[in-house]
Chain A
């Protein structure tokens, strides 16, 4: 067993820690906080509310695997949902145009930031910090006040529920309520599967790991390092755009305050999911479990009666801190063992 543990790659080791922690947490929640967590819908609600976060975190993991960071994602999500809301309600646009707009905004941020980071060699944190403030500022410029979208087609899309057979539960009156997920969840699952396959089996996907693991050796192997870093930022931007639309479908409104702190949650999810900040190590499935762990803990905090807003932020920060320290220690020990 110990031998096996030692031989595990960094990616699998951190992934295992994450998955074990998630199941322990969920079982703990069921045991101590009652049956609320036992209903399948409780789990699907987590998925419904966190679909956008799953998509952003996947993009962020990609950037982090290449050794960079992108903290503009929350701002981009807010900008996308505000722009789409304005397009649908005030400019008479339709849903297809809104989706194109969302992808366009995401790609624009990804391309500009990727160019600055990859080809001009500027610290990714500075570039994307500026990107975050730019996106937030622009959101206010697009429209100042929060408002609910009343576009009929959009509301139909927003309220579409995909029922899952055999997973329902009975409410207090004994009426059977089938479990459901939103369209956003389907998008998120597709993104996770596609990215997982790309990162695991495609040549381009392996390049991300090579660049993050050791830039110099990647260069020696003939990998185009700059293009790979650029591609990771473009992908992250694109996914932030898609996540923006998924988020927009979930909340159904535009507001400058939307997705505040989302970049933080996305980074925390990636780190909890076993992506190393130093690059080269990470797994999309881990990121998925990172998001699930994070929102499970939020639900636990709320169910435990600590529902003041500040507790959520403090627990997320504490969790991030804990995992950062664990990572730091695990890696230091591995290094000294070598």
Chain B
């Protein structure tokens, strides 16, 4: 591999690097797939069978992963941008999902515990939740961009308070939406066999692809992440760009909250989207993006998110207790950051260089 890259010059090297970044999540995906296939040969089986409402829907392990990984994939989009621009991560996403989800239920139920009909159209509830999510993002963003507080400390505030604020919005009751039309967003649209969360994720991915292709957002976030001072000298407003990425993440949080809340038509403040911040950071890291900011690869992050979901499902299949999952994931995170740490990569490349002259001698 290495020799080939060297031969084809700088262009080839660049292409090799791009290939390398998306290579990590795909390699992880392949390993997990093979492992799962050995564990359970029926793993790839996808069946079309009627669900409880009598519609034909797709089911199977792969579909479950695509379905359950939706929230994570959507969050990974925003988290990638935040990481690229600010060089830090937002650890409040799980807690802000609790806030946005609580807002949705509050509006749909109009303050009652379990009304028989929807008190407001779902779209209104969703839009208000978007505003709530963006406000939370704006709060984090303002602390990071204008008060120059490290992102993880700034978001620690909402990380602690978020779930409590969520409980406070609904006065600590657990509202239940009885209307089946709300369950569509976390389940299936009648007549369509593909899970709705997956469709929403695809829509989000298309939107972000278009935004990155036709606007300068991607370029600007990367330049701010690589060198804030020189971006400022080139006429960018680094503070505003950082702020903007946090607001975009807030929007992603609201979409994820809609799916999360719709899945159970209710909410549990202390459990909803628990530890998802860890998964989202892991997805970005697994996508080969530098956690200290700078260049990013959106596709790799999104694939990374599905790999994490794959890993979670696999660990569940191995009968690992849900509360013990973080321990395993933490090991994966540490392994990844150690491998991508500058001093370690230097040592590895130094080792490679040592090997090369030897190889020449042999040749």
Contact = CB atoms under 8 A, between A and B. Distances in A.
A63 B334 CA distance: 20
Interface residues of A, number: 45
B297 to A, nearest CB: 19
B278 A137 contact: no
A133 B326 contact: yes
Given A121-B343, A313-B164, A314-B165, A308 B172 contact: yes
Contact of A129 (B154, B160, B168, B281): B281
A17 interface: no
22 contacts: A69-B152, A116-B338, A120-B341, A122-B338, A123-B337, A126-B89, A133-B275, A137-B327, A138-B324, A144-B321, A144-B323, A264-B160, A267-B156, A277-B149, A277-B153, A310-B164, A310-B167, A313-B163, A317-B158, A317-B160, A317-B164, A318-B161
B321 A267 contact: no
Interface string B159-201: 1110111011000100000000000000000000000000000
Contacts, number: 133
A32 B149 CA distance: 35
A126 B148 contact: no
B350 interface: no
A130 interface: yes
A129 B327 CA distance: 11
Nearest to B91: A129
Contacts of B341: 120-122
Q: Helix, strand, loop or mixed for chain A's interface?
A: helix
A310 B172 contact: yes
B321 A140 contact: yes
Interface string B274-311: 01001001000000000110000000000000000000
Interface stretch (A18-26, A149-157, A207-215, A321-329): A321-329
B342 interface: yes
B150 interface: yes
A324 B153 contact: yes
Interface of B: 88-89, 91, 143, 147-150, 152-154, 156-161, 163-165, 167-168, 172, 275, 278, 281, 291-292, 321, 323-331, 333-334, 337-338, 341-344
Nearest to A142: B324
A147 interface: no
A141 B324 contact: yes
Given A267-B153, A314-B168, A328-B147, A127 B321 contact: no
A256 interface: yes
